[in-house]
């Protein structure tokens, strides 16, 4: 199975440019699963709720999702990426998974910093998609810092965690090595690059998108500034072997009598 990520610098508020940039980086290539950054359609730094509302999309009428449904069918690819989702009076920092006509939406459970002033807290249960071949767990950016999130997805049977991100702190890429070791799971982190500088505020994004294997090895990575599409062949069945050695199994050895996870 080929899996990959696209890393680039979105232009704020220009969803048409951002979608075309993804198409340009992808070109004639494909993979079975491709992960895009958090809020890749709009950029990250919204000045206020009104601006966010103007740029958010309802799933049922989303031009972005319609485009990626077409692309998914054309390339036989599962696409996963972040966008601001409007649902009634609420707006969520959301992630779509598109597999042909099938759609799964995950709403970010752990909001970072001033996101709390703009978005509603996610109300999603365990976001896992099963296409009969692989089970995909969904996460968005700051979700990474809560080990309970990834452990819960792993316990629910996820083979691959697809992590759309707009990382500004320097810790996540290294921490994902530990997450992959302690859960024996593949993790695809698609981060963005560049800077959002608006309304007297500024965020510099860290890039370094990567794929980590169940043993903790970084098997694919890129730099902190480049815009690229990269992919690699993996065997998701390796995520289903939770044995560390002949005597220890990560899940069977858990002491659920003394802790919950």
Catalytic entry in 21, 108, 135, 231: 108
224 in catalytic set: no
Dist. CA 169–CA 172, nearest whole Å: 7
Instruction: Write b or e for each residue in 149-181: b if 16 or more Cβ atoms lie within 10 A of its Cβ, otherwise e.
Output: bbbbbbeeebbbbbbbbbbbeeebbeebbebbb
Catalytic residue among 21, 38, 135, 172: 38
Burial class (CB in 10 A: 0-12, 13-18, 19+), 40: buried
141 is catalytic: yes
Of the candidates 126, 130, 132, the residue with the CA atom closest to the CA atom of residue 154:
126
* Residue 181 in tokens: 């070791």
Contact 161, 150 (CB under 8 A): yes
Catalytic residue among 141, 162, 172, 231: 141
Q: Is 108 known to be catalytic?
A: yes
Kindly state the tokens that stand for 53. Answer: 């509302």
Q: Which residues are catalytic?
A: 38, 108, 141
């Amino acid at each position: 199975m080929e899996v990959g990520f696209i890393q680039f610098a979105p232009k704020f508020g220009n969803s048409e440019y951002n979608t075309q940039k993804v198409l340009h980086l992808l070109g004639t290539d494909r993979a079975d699963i491709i992960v895009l950054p958090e809020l890749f359609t709009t950029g990250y730094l919204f000045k206020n709720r009104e601006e966010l509302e103007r740029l958010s999309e309802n799933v049922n009428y989303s031009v972005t999702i319609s485009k990626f449904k077409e692309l998914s069918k054309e390339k036989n690819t599962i696409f996963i990426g972040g966008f601001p989702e409007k649902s009634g009076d609420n707006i969520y920092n959301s992630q779509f998974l598109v597999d042909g006509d099938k759609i799964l939406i995950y709403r970010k459970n752990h909001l970072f910093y001033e996101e709390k002033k703009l978005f509603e807290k996610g109300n999603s249960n365990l976001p896992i998609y099963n296409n009969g071949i692989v089970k995909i767990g969904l996460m968005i950016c700051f979700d990474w810092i809560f080990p309970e999130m990834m452990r819960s997805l792993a316990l629910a049977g996820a083979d691959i965690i697809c992590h759309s991100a707009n990382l500004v702190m320097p810790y996540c890429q290294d921490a994902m090595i530990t997450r992959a070791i302690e859960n024996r799971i593949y993790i695809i982190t698609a981060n963005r690059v560049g800077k959002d500088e608006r309304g007297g505020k500024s965020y510099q994004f860290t890039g370094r998108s990567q794929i980590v294997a169940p043993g903790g090895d970084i098997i694919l990575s890129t730099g902190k500034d480049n815009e690229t599409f990269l992919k690699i062949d993996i065997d998701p069945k390796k995520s289903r072997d939770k044995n560390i050695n002949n005597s220890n199994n990560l899940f069977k050895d858990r002491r659920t009598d003394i802790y919950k996870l």
